[in-house]
Amino acid sequence: MKQEYTYTVVIEPCEEGGYSGTCPAIPGCHVQGETYEETLAELKAAVKAMIEDYLDDGEKPPTGDISVTTVKVAV
């Protein structure tokens, strides 16, 4: 039976165009794409590949537990 994992991902527009995406819970997991949808698909594939690498190495994948919040800053 396949295990499902849930991770928070961040996708941001790049100044030079396109988008960059990261998964903060998995070190080194980052991608770039031309569109938001392409970036999301590439990021999902990267997360899957990295989880498979952890499992193939007999390691437990990182948990997806991170805290995301919004802060207000007065300047």
Per-residue pLDDT in tens (0 to 9) along the chain, 75 residues: 889 999 999 999 999 999 999 999 999 999 999 999 999 999 999 999 999 999 999 999 998 888 888 999 999
Per-domain residue ranges of the chain: 1-75
Where does 1-75 sit in CATH, by number? 3.30.160.250
pTM, 2 dp: 0.87
Take residue 64 and report the two structure tokens written for it: 């997806």
21 Cβ partners below 8 Å, 6+ apart? 9, 10, 11, 12, 30, 31, 32, 33, 39, 40, 42, 43
Closest CA to 29 of 1, 66, 75, 70: 66
Q: Output the pLDDT for position 1.
A: 80
Starting from the edge strand earliest in sequence, which strands make up the sheet with 30-33, in order? Answer: 10-13, 19-22, 30-33
